[in-house]
Chains A and B, each alone.
Chain A
Amino acid sequence: MGIELNRRNFLSAAVSAAGLVAMGPLLSACGGGGPSRAGVNSESALKAVLPTYVPNTSIKPDIPSIAGGPDVLTDPGFLGYPTNRVATVSGVPGKGGKYSAVTPLWGTIPPADNSFYQAMNKALGVELEMKPADGNNYNTIIPTMTAAKKLPDWINLPGWWNPQFNTGGLVGNQLADLTPYLSGDNVKKYPNLAAIPTAAWRAGAWGDKLYGIPSFSTGFKVAGVVFYRRDVLEAKGITADQVKSADDLMKLGKELTDAKAGVWAFDDVYRYIYTSFGAPLKWKVDNGKLIHVFETSEFLDAADWHRKLALAGYVHPDALAGDNAGSNTRFYAGKTLIGGGGQGAWNLADLQSGQAANPNYRRGAFNFFAADGKSTPRVDMGQSTDIVSYLNINLKPEQIEECLAVANYLAAPFGSAEYTMVNFGVEGTHFTMKDGVPTPTEAGMKEVQAKTYPFLAAPPSVVNNPTGDIVTKDLTAWQAANLKALAKPVFWGMNVSMPQAQATAEAAQPVEDTLKDVIHGKKSIQDLKDAVANWKSSGGGDRLIQWMNDNVLQKFGTGQ
């Protein structure tokens, strides 16, 4: 998470764009600092164009957001579904334009030209042809469009695919610059877009210009969380605040593991815990020197801790056998009691699955702690969102304005009339209210439930689990308790593109492979040290660090 470094040879993008052969790899673009023309501090240049944030106050959450450090904000919580569905957009945003849109969809593709699309077109005042594509194959579908320069008018390019897509090479060549429409106070023309926090716009900013419209943004993005079975642990008298150090966690391993009964305390948790040891997410700058996580002793400490955890027999054997797919099943069945995951795992569906296995099921998360138990807990915060949509460069200015007006409708706040329309369809046709909760009808299941429009634009994330308010309360309380630990890592939200050789070194597959063996207790820390040394010398590691230093740190700073 965090900074998704984006491998790529700028060269090829330049070739496809201009038909010219440029020499040598270039830094294609950085949000937070593109190829700076006059050595200006890109952070200040970007700040000058980022849209003004005007929070929406029309709908009050039951559990309001709490602000932490810069750009850190907990997600607001809603219990139930708002009954007073206020309208935030007056009239119809569109002027009858015709557009095509492609979004990734993880689910069954709804039938084309269905009643929901028709209702949406009517509400939006445009003819927006939705072409959702299979999310699992999205990264093979889009390159054919970009290679042929046949992108639709509106397209979603998720941030985690930057490495494949070289979005940095597409912006300005195939994707429209939205800076003139959205920068600074210009965004106020679109109040719902203005209600997206400023930081989220960085995800779609390249070379000090705004290109992307962020969906599902959040001010509380972390790489992962260490979850535990709250129902089981509390029954044993263990509460989250008792875990203040890595040692405490290790002790829980002994206390909770009962192999004979088929219960192991832990699933694989390394990825969710290594930053607690003081290791950076990926990069850190120490006295002006750029340091990669593999070079830090804290990285080795974290690996060693997990290695001991595995060797002590506190990790479920299936997890040690590399079976990650079954981790949820193990957790629900109570065969593991502590495991890692993204915050997204903490939702209504999780509660329902868990309760199906055990009616008392309750998910909890440990607070971020410092491994030594003494330092101040700190966790590197990730980019606000990975879901970003872009407009085609061939659109005329008035068409771009029309699309932005549509985006404004789509980004209407949670619980508003527009939000309800976008996410649930027409009341009576696509959903009915049951116990105060919009419940999809059969048509709604088919046509609306597969999320399409929100991938073009959506309001900031909220926590809402109708019929499972306990989840909303637990999650928001956990966020509030951990707000102070979140801090921006270096290069936060900078969207770096790098040449292939560096990108390969960045992926560091040989080190990752060895790391897996080490944390599963199959190899020694010395093996890991050797793998890192080998990566640095012959795996391109040193060249990667040098490249990042020369092309990013020295030119654009740390982004902080």
Chain B
Amino acid sequence: MTSIRADRAGRPARLSWRIRLRRDRSLILMTLPAVVLLLVFNYVPLFGLATAFQEYDPLAGVWQSTWAGLYQFERLLSDSLFWGALKNTLWLSFVQLILFFPVPIALALLLNTVLSERIRNFIQSVVYLPHFFSWVLAVTIFQQMLGGAGALNQFLRGNDIGTWDIMTNPDTFALLVTSQVIWKEAGWGIIVFLAALAAINTDLYEAAAADGAGRWRRLWHITLPGLRSVIVLMLVLRLGNALSVGFEQFLIQRNAVGHDTAEVLDTFSFYYGIATGDYSYGAAAGLFKSVISLLLIWGANKLAHAFGEDGLYRK
């Protein structure tokens, strides 16, 4: 806390907005296209949220549809399928937080210890690659390898060992999807940590080594503290996204394990909103999710600040 205060005290006096505008003119101009994109694709569509309070009719449009007040939300809260989807989402999110979140960090640390640039580039390319696959492809690969007629089970069958139900077992679904996420996204996730690692002053390591600090001590006292702000930032973002565990991955595998297990809030909105033409209901489910997510991200950010971290922005 003290460091932050000192930091803040050290900031120059606030300039008037006019001066700041003139000073930052070129920077603002450079961000303008991105801001416009954000406005057009992320803010303007927010207008569609109005449908959550309507009996929306796509033919009549938003202006002509009848208003229904909070009716859709009443339906939502009394729908056991919705609560099931929420429960699944939170559970999967929790499992992924525990099992997936540390993986890219560990991978980044490991990769950082590899000295040969060639090997490092090779490993990086290999672990990045799955990120560029679509979920359809990723799940197909899993199905081909581990499915009931996949390579593993055909081998087991051929040797009369008995089969192992991986892809359609509801009980282990959380582990299955998490391992899919690890395979597909862990490599991509290390980029930001590698960047943070690169920013750590190498003098610190040399000094620590000179003082007799071993590999683990250096990791604990230099590397991890150096990564801390990034880890916290990623954690805040992850918590804010706790209700978005993915869509396609579950859409594709929903039939494999059944909707009781694989239904998450996004697939719920899709199946019970869009697919059945009940748009307002889907919009209500989506809005509900967004509000909770906003609260989560706000809470996580507060927590980060309380621990003296930057969180999403410097307080």
- A residues whose Cβ falls under 8 Å from a Cβ of B: 7-9, 11-13, 15-16, 143, 146-147, 163-166, 169-170, 259-260, 262, 264, 316-318, 320-323, 335, 500, 503-504, 507, 509-510, 513-514, 516-517, 520, 522-523
Contacts and interface: CB of A to CB of B under 8 A. Distances in A.
A514 B261 CA distance: 12
A321 B168 CA distance: 6
B310 interface: no
21 contacts: A12-B57, A15-B60, A16-B61, A16-B64, A143-B58, A146-B59, A166-B59, A260-B158, A316-B149, A317-B147, A317-B149, A320-B256, A321-B256, A322-B254, A500-B55, A500-B278, A504-B277, A509-B271, A510-B81, A514-B259, A516-B258
Contacts of A504: 276-278, 281
A12 B60 contact: yes
Contacts of B271: 509, 513
Contacts of A12: 57, 59-60, 64-66
A332 B157 CA distance: 23
Nearest to B170: A522
A290 B167 CA distance: 41
B170 A318 contact: no
Contacts of B256: 320-323
B57 A321 contact: no
A262 B154 contact: yes
Interface in B144-173: 147-150, 153-154, 157-158, 167-168, 170
Contacts of A11: 57, 66
Q: Give the residue among A163, A260, A316, A323 with the most B Cβ atoms within 10 A.
A: A323
B276 A321 contact: no
B290 interface: no
A13 B60 CA distance: 6
B143 interface: yes
A165 B55 CA distance: 15
Interface in B109-150: 140, 143, 147-150
Given A322-B253, A513-B259, 19 more contacts: A11-B57, A11-B66, A16-B60, A16-B64, A164-B58, A260-B158, A317-B149, A317-B168, A318-B147, A321-B147, A321-B168, A322-B252, A504-B277, A504-B278, A516-B258, A516-B259, A517-B260, A522-B170, A522-B257
Contacts of A503: 276-278
B275 A318 contact: no
A522 B170 CA distance: 9
Nearest to A523: B258
Contacts of A260: 154, 157-158
A262 B149 contact: yes
Contacts of B158: 260
Interface in B25-63: 55, 57-61
A169 B64 CA distance: 14
Given A8-B59, A13-B60, A509 B168 contact: no
Interface string B229-264: 000000000000000000000001111111110000
Please list the 3 inter-chain residue pairs (A to B) with the smallest Cβ-Cβ separation, ordered nearest first: A317-B148, A322-B255, A12-B60
B272 interface: yes
Nearest to B259: A513
Contacts of A510: 81
Nearest to B278: A504
Contacts of B170: 522
Size bracket of the B interface: 35 or more
A315 to B, nearest CB: 10
A147 B65 CA distance: 11
Given A259-B157, A322-B256, A509-B275, A16 B59 contact: yes
B168 A517 contact: no
Nearest to B55: A500
A163 to B, nearest CB: 5
Contacts of A163: 277
Contacts of B254: 322
Contacts of B260: 517
A9, A11, A264, A321 interface centre (most CB from chain B within 10 Å): A321
Contacts of A513: 258-259, 271
A335 B64 contact: no
A169 B58 CA distance: 12
Nearest to A321: B256
A321 B143 contact: yes
Contacts of B57: 8-9, 11-12, 166, 500
B108 to A, nearest CB: 34
A510 B79 CA distance: 11
Contact of B276 (A146, A323, A509): A509
B149 A164 contact: no
Given A264-B149, A321-B167, A335-B149, A507 B275 contact: yes
A339 to B, nearest CB: 15
A253 to B, nearest CB: 16
Contacts of B272: 509
B80 to A, nearest CB: 9
A513 B80 CA distance: 14
Contacts of A165: 59
Residue among A11, A12, A322 having the largest count of chain B Cβ atoms under 10 Å: A322
Given A260-B157, A320-B168, A169 B59 contact: yes
Contacts of B61: 16, 147
Contacts of A322: 252-256
A509 B168 CA distance: 21
A500 B140 CA distance: 36
Given A7-B277, A318-B143, A522 B60 contact: no
B48 to A, nearest CB: 13
A547 B127 CA distance: 57
Interface string B275-290: 1111001000000000
A318 B148 contact: yes
A9 B61 CA distance: 13
Contacts of B257: 522
A143 B147 contact: no
Contacts of B259: 513-514, 516-517
A409 to B, nearest CB: 32
A202 B242 CA distance: 51
Nearest to B280: A500
A507 B278 CA distance: 10
Given A12-B59, A147-B60, A500-B57, A164 B277 contact: yes
Interface in B74-106: 81
Highest count of chain A CB atoms <10 Å: which of B149, B157, B168: B149
A370 B143 CA distance: 36
A323 B251 CA distance: 11
Contacts of A146: 59
A520 B154 CA distance: 20
A16 B59 CA distance: 9
Contacts of B65: 12
A166 B153 CA distance: 49
B163 to A, nearest CB: 8
A241 B277 CA distance: 42
